[in-house]
Chains A and B, each alone.
Chain A
Amino acid sequence: MEGIKEVIGPTLFHYALAPALKIAVLLVAVLTLIAYTTFAERKILGFLQVRTGPNRVGPWGVLQPIADVAKLLVKQDIMPTQAVRWAYVLAPCLVVGPALVIFSVIPFGPSAEVTGNMNWFITDVNVGLLFVVAMATIGVYGLILGGWASNNKFSLLGGLRSAAQMISYEVPQGFSLVVPLLMAGTMSLSGIVDAQIEQGRWFVFAFFPFGLLAFFIYFVAGVAESNRNPFDLPEAESELVAGFHTEYSGMRFALFFLGEYANMIVISAVAVTLFLGGWSRPFSSVESLSFLDLGFLPGGMGGLVWFTLKLLVFLFVYIWFRGTFPRYRFDQLMDLGWKWMIPAALIAIAGTGLFKILIR
């Protein structure tokens, strides 16, 4: 690394080569994680549902995701003749693109000030939180557009549902993000993690119960945003056949699928960063537990380990939801959003603000 840096010069290294390498590594890692989330989902659902799950491809079925991808890649890609072509093609990209872009601001480990040589994030935007919210919103347009462009009545209903869903969960989700913002006093995601280490507590436990409330609202809204059970209304198989992606097949369908799982991971990652201390170890203020830092791992990789562990817990909860809950009706989801989550989020904001003033 140092050798390359000398050859191409520090400017080129810091602004072109290092980010490009990081992006490549991150993309591969995230796509692998997505593939194996689908595998884990099927195995865990199998465990919950007294059956075995995939076990044919490779030992314990571990090569199943690869077989799935290969199958989807070689499948015929069908476009309905009456479809609106540009929108039909654009929609899956709108779902998967923004979800992957959000990963660029998430800190997976400590910054260079701690590790000495590298940042465990691609970039640290000082309005990172706003960037996350803005990008997450774009994904919904893919659903609406895909449902409309397919020229299928069931798809259209699915698209309509996702529009209804969006306006009811985005507001409480936005509100709930204000709480960690107030607690940390910064919008940069790695700044928020640093604040949690500095204050010696995860924001989910801070200003009890307001941190917990905000965390809860964020996660429920996040489940709705990623269209997962019990809020999988836009694709509701038993009602709308496959909802917005009824007409999609082959790789275009796979992109929607990819987008859903990427969204799951993004929402979990943001929740970990904002509320559960990000890459920091548990009890980061207790000196006697410093062996939990996993200092024997090189270059601050211990942070990555903790981050991944927390992330996996969230993904498990997502899958657990799917094995347990029936589906909400979309007007009931709107009820939940407007009548319960928005007032609760406002209370969390007010409570946090009050605490802040009183403590100062």
Chain B
Amino acid sequence: MTDEILTGADQYETLFGVEEMELNFGPQHPATHGVLRLKMKIDGERIVDCYPIIGYLHRGTEKLFELHPFFQNVPHTDRMDYVAAATNNLAYVGAVEKLLGLVVPPRARYIRTILSELQRISSHLLWLATHAIDIGAMTPFFYTFRERELVLDLFEEYCGARLTLNCMRPGGQPYDLTVGWAEKSAAFVDSFPAKVDEYEGLLTENRIWKKRTIGIGMLPPEVALEYGVTGPMLRGSGIQWDIRKAMPYEAYDEVEFEVPVFTNCDTYDRYLVRMEEMRQSASIVKQCLDKLPEGPIMAKRPRVLKAPKEGEVYHSVEGPKGEIGFYIVGDGTANPYRCRVRPPSLYNIQVLPEMVRGGLIADLVAVIGTTDIVLGEVDR
């Protein structure tokens, strides 16, 4: 199979009949962000063709969903995109609520919005850290981790976990906010935009950073749509598509925020999109904390959640990396009959060969960074 896919090499004829070299990039490589393997044909440093090979982290999560009752499946979602667990939780519990017809109380909706926006901030911080270190800038890594630590502390105080949060339940929230949590997170989001300025001070107008990202990894809007790319990748290509605006869920229709869109389709614009998104997220958290209603945090629900016979539902939310969706089929039992996940990273990684073909190896790491993939989610 792998020998035939490198068709680009056939079209590539060099003047001197030079042979291309085949290079395995990963699965053990500092820049592949996990266990991505790229099979490449290179001519010198120029990439003639590139073929991503995935599956090194396959754990059968979708099958696991079928084996457990609805409320026990939330921790499985934590382990897909392990740097953005809250949004995975949200997509899953949202799908289950849609399937069972549970109505989430307002306070729980607000808490969920706050948690997923904090999660977006922490996921984007990790993206910036690794993206910058891939391109050779070492210092932003430590700056972003300084702030990410504060977000993780907030998570820890709320639900006891820092990474695999397991912080939502079908029907509402497991815990109310602890005393003083709202003040702490308000203090964080107040100070955060200044920190984003600090990161931008190191990178945005840096000549080398611009040289390494402008015009690199071009993703035309048509191609992005064909491949089903979502999230900041799509918005960096000039398409205004954000599920928070298009199909508002939780409290997103009650807060004001902008969806940043840039039109140059390159790595630099995707960087700008994410930097602006972090500021917007901080503002959303701030608004939610101001408006936070009182009341119950859990819907009235049966002790055992049973799906209706022949119910099927698809629910998606805007995760930090793009549209994370769950398609759940119920068969009248307490377990899902089938649960299919639409992970944003899987769709975003497929467009990688289009973006790196003809580029250099140095561009490849910039492009892998800009796709912001998490292999736990790609392979599930």
Contact = CB atoms under 8 A, between A and B. Distances in A.
Interface stretch (A140-148, A182-190, A233-241): A233-241
B97 interface: no
B359 to A, nearest CB: 10
B362 A236 contact: yes
B29 interface: yes
B206 A325 contact: yes
Interface string B339-367: 00000000000000000000011111100
Interface residues of A, number: 30
A260 B288 CA distance: 53
B8 interface: no
Given A157-B361, A238-B136, A240-B361, A325 B143 contact: no
Nearest to B360: A329
Interface in A32-61: 45, 48-51
B138 interface: yes
A153 B44 contact: no
Given A50-B143, A239-B361, A240-B361, A326 B212 contact: yes
Contacts of A331: 360
Contacts of B31: 238-239
Interface stretch (B77-85, B127-135, B242-250, B309-317): B127-135
Contact of A328 (B29, B202, B211): B211
A132 B202 CA distance: 36
A99 to B, nearest CB: 24
A325 B30 contact: no
B176 interface: no
Nearest to B362: A329
A232 B202 contact: no
A53 to B, nearest CB: 11
B23 interface: yes
Contacts of A325: 136-137, 206, 208
A49 B29 contact: no
Contacts of B29: 241
Contacts of A329: 211-212, 360, 362-363
Given A50-B146, A330-B45, A324 B139 contact: yes
Q: Which of A241, A327, A330 has the most chain B CB within a 10 Å cutoff?
A: A327
A201 interface: no
A129 interface: no
A326 B206 contact: yes
Nearest to B132: A326
B137 A326 contact: yes
A330 B362 contact: yes
Given A153-B23, A237-B30, A241-B30, A327 B212 contact: yes
B159 to A, nearest CB: 27
A81 interface: no
Q: How large is the interface on B (under 10, 10 to 19, 20 to 34, 35 or more residues)?
A: 20 to 34
Given A50-B142, A153-B23, A329-B360, A324 B136 contact: no
Contacts of A49: 138-139, 141-143
A276 interface: no
A22 interface: no
A45 B31 CA distance: 22
Interface in A137-168: 153, 157, 160-161
B45 A157 contact: yes
Interface in B106-137: 132-137
A39 to B, nearest CB: 18
B53 interface: no
A239 B45 CA distance: 11
Interface in A232-259: 232-233, 236-241
B138 A239 contact: no
A229 B136 contact: yes
Given A322-B138, A326-B208, A238 B133 contact: yes
A76 interface: no
Contacts of B337: none
B209 interface: yes
B224 to A, nearest CB: 24
A211 interface: no
Nearest to B216: A329
B187 interface: no
A236 B136 contact: yes
Contacts of A238: 30-31, 133-136, 365
B21 interface: yes
Contacts of B139: 48-49, 323-324
Q: Which of A45, A48, A239 has the most chain B CB within a 10 Å cutoff?
A: A239
A231 B30 CA distance: 19
Interface in B33-48: 44-45
A153 B24 CA distance: 9
B363 to A, nearest CB: 7
Interface in A293-336: 322-332
A241 B30 CA distance: 6
A170 B36 CA distance: 38
Contacts of A330: 45, 360, 362
Nearest to B211: A332
A233 B212 CA distance: 13
A230 interface: yes
Given A236-B136, A239-B364, 7 more contacts: A45-B138, A50-B143, A160-B45, A229-B136, A239-B31, A325-B136, A332-B211
A-B complex: 10 closest residue pairs judged by Cβ atoms: A327-B136, A49-B142, A326-B137, A238-B31, A329-B362, A238-B134, A326-B136, A326-B135, A326-B208, A326-B209
28 contacts: A48-B139, A49-B138, A49-B139, A49-B141, A49-B142, A157-B45, A160-B45, A230-B208, A236-B362, A237-B30, A238-B30, A238-B31, A238-B133, A239-B362, A325-B136, A325-B206, A326-B136, A326-B137, A326-B208, A326-B212, A327-B135, A327-B136, A327-B208, A327-B212, A327-B362, A328-B211, A329-B211, A332-B211
